[in-house]
Amino acid sequence: MNDFLNDWGLTLAVFLPLLGAVVMMVIPRGEEDTHKIVALVSTLLSGAVGVWLLFNFDYDHSHKLQFARSDSWIEVINSRYHIGIDGISLPLLVLSMFITILVVIYSWNHFPEPHNPKAFLALTLVLEVGMNGTFVAQDLILFFVFFELVLLPMYFMIGVWGGEQRQYAAIKFFLFTLFGSALMILSFLALYFKGGQTFDMPQLIQVAQANISHNTALWIFGGLFMGFAIKVPMFPFHTWLPDAHTQAPTQGSVILAAILLKLGTYGFIRIAIPILPEAAHTWAPWIGGLAVVGIIYGALGCLAQTDLKRLIAFSSVAHMGFVMLGIATLTPVGINAAIFGMVAHGLITGMLFFIAGSVKDRFHTLEIRRLGGLLVQAPRLGWILGFCAMASLGLPGLAGFWGEFPAILSAYSPAAGMSEALFRTYMVIASVGTVLAAGYLLWMFQRTAFGNPPEEFADHHIHDVHGPEWLAWTPMLAGIVVLGVLPGLLLNITNPAVMAAFSRI
């Protein structure tokens, strides 16, 4: 069994959800319960493989590629089915499996209009294939295919099950990300031809730097930057995000915030920076600058929002700004913080979108002005919102803190050769961002949860948190606390891999 999983574990983890989706195709649309069970079972099976991977991962050698396999795929262009995980991809892979399971559980009785659980869950499963695959791919073309695989299901999820402006939001999301990935694939091809006639990431990391002239590398990095920065999204490419988040159904928002945004930051850590460290060095101050602009811009955007979901969306722009600032320092501390920030943001913001979805279900509005007194009508829901707001603003003891604080700290001393004055300025600006974050989150909490219920809802019976919600949320809430108290759980996995990957910079 162990031998089998050593060879096939990752492949199973990626493709089991696809198997589920295929099974669902042949089951008639009417049998909704069967669909739910098939979807749950396939995500659980994939998750079980994930747990097995967690237990059998060699933590002492987390910088090494594990459970790897490399089979021929497209011989003609020398691209291989090369997959494997190390300490950087493991946490994100597990996060992706974990969130998808919870999304399926949450969906049990929360199907947005026009209902159709068959199509909705099948798309969720295909999304998982794309997300899991991106985190395990070790070949640029394979990475590209998985990276793009998430576009179609998310496009349909927003466009079919979304809110009023869903069609606009869906196509905007699609066009923005496709533009980025079109330039990204050009860079991948340039890496192949200039870098050493291979799409294999570990090999490129060894040889590309030496083969590519600095000027060419800057251009190639620029293409990669466009692909990943739009996905993150960094200011000024973020405009698709508030629309997509606000219009997407709850499940779509959760997956978008928790996983899809990480594909971009993961791309920086896995591909752009290790393969072209010198170009990254030249680009880093600009990336850092855009990151802090994003932090402040996102925070100010939050303060101006009247819609709960849009507010959370803008807070994502700010939080991903911290992650990108950490990455831009090019130091192990910063990268570790970035990975931690990615996981923490996935849990916290995913949770916030879940809550927003449940609020919308109960009040049929997300306009902050019309909400209020949540703690009176649905105290548990209210307190969970409060808890997540605290986690999101980076309260020590909760997961958000360990993403944000070390990222700011790392900007104090960026990698050798980069302007300390500049990054220290960034550090100060980012610190202001945390204050603003506390401001908009507490203000949001105060307006929605405190006080008395507004007149229009005063007579309504508001159901507090119910079964499937508890099931879906408890693990995430527990995760926020556990990672907050024991950050070492995650940092011990990522650190050796980060040290190995970034020691050369």
Positions touching another protein (CB under 8 A) are 29, 72-77, 119, 141, 144-145, 148-149, 151-152, 155-156, 159-160, 166-167, 170-171, 174-175, 178-179, 182-183, 185-186, 189-190, 192-194
Nearer CB in complex with another protein: 192/387: 192
Phi (first) and psi of residue 52, to 5 degrees: -60, -40
* Spatial separation of the C-alpha atoms in residues 253 and 284, rounded to whole Å: 29
Nearer CB in complex with another protein: 114/396: 114
CB 153 within 8 A of CB 27: no
Closest CB 219 distance from another protein, rounded Å:
9
Q: Is 112 left (phi over 0), alpha (psi -120 to 50) or beta?
A: beta
Give one DSSP letter per residue of 142-190, joined into a string.
Answer: HHHHHHHHTHHHHHHHHHHH--TTHHHHHHHHHHHHHHHHHHHHHHHHH
Nearer CB in complex with another protein: 160/317: 160
Phi (first) and psi of residue 139, to 5 degrees: -130, 135
Nearer CB in complex with another protein: 241/385: 241
* Spatial separation of the C-alpha atoms in residues 125 and 137, rounded to whole Å: 18
* Spatial separation of the C-alpha atoms in residues 242 and 47, rounded to whole Å: 30
Nearer CB in complex with another protein: 194/424: 194
* Spatial separation of the C-alpha atoms in residues 349 and 8, rounded to whole Å: 32
Closest CB 167 distance from another protein, rounded Å:
5
Instruction: Identify the CA nearest to 89 among candidates 339, 326, 319, 316.
Output: 339
Closest CB 144 distance from another protein, rounded Å:
7
Nearer CB in complex with another protein: 118/262: 118
Residue partners of 240: CB distance under 8 A and separation at least 6 = 169, 172, 173, 175, 176, 177, 230, 233
Closest CB 239 distance from another protein, rounded Å:
16
Quote the Cα angle for 319-324-330, to 5°. 145
Nearer CB in complex with another protein: 192/353: 192
Nearer CB in complex with another protein: 34/413: 34
Closest CB 323 distance from another protein, rounded Å:
26
Closest CB 140 distance from another protein, rounded Å:
11
Q: Which residues pair with 81 in a beta bridge?
A: 71
Q: Which residues pair with 200 in a beta bridge?
A: 139
* Spatial separation of the C-alpha atoms in residues 394 and 411, rounded to whole Å: 17
Closest CB 147 distance from another protein, rounded Å:
8
CB 394 within 8 A of CB 401: yes
Residue partners of 75: CB distance under 8 A and separation at least 6 = none
Closest CB 450 distance from another protein, rounded Å:
39
Nearer CB in complex with another protein: 40/189: 189
Closest CB 409 distance from another protein, rounded Å:
39
Closest CB 190 distance from another protein, rounded Å:
5
State whether the Cα torsion 313-319-323-329 is positive or negative: positive
Closest CB 222 distance from another protein, rounded Å:
11
Nearer CB in complex with another protein: 67/173: 173
CB 6 within 8 A of CB 84: no
Nearer CB in complex with another protein: 185/481: 185
CA dihedral 102, 107, 112, 114 (to 10 degrees): 130
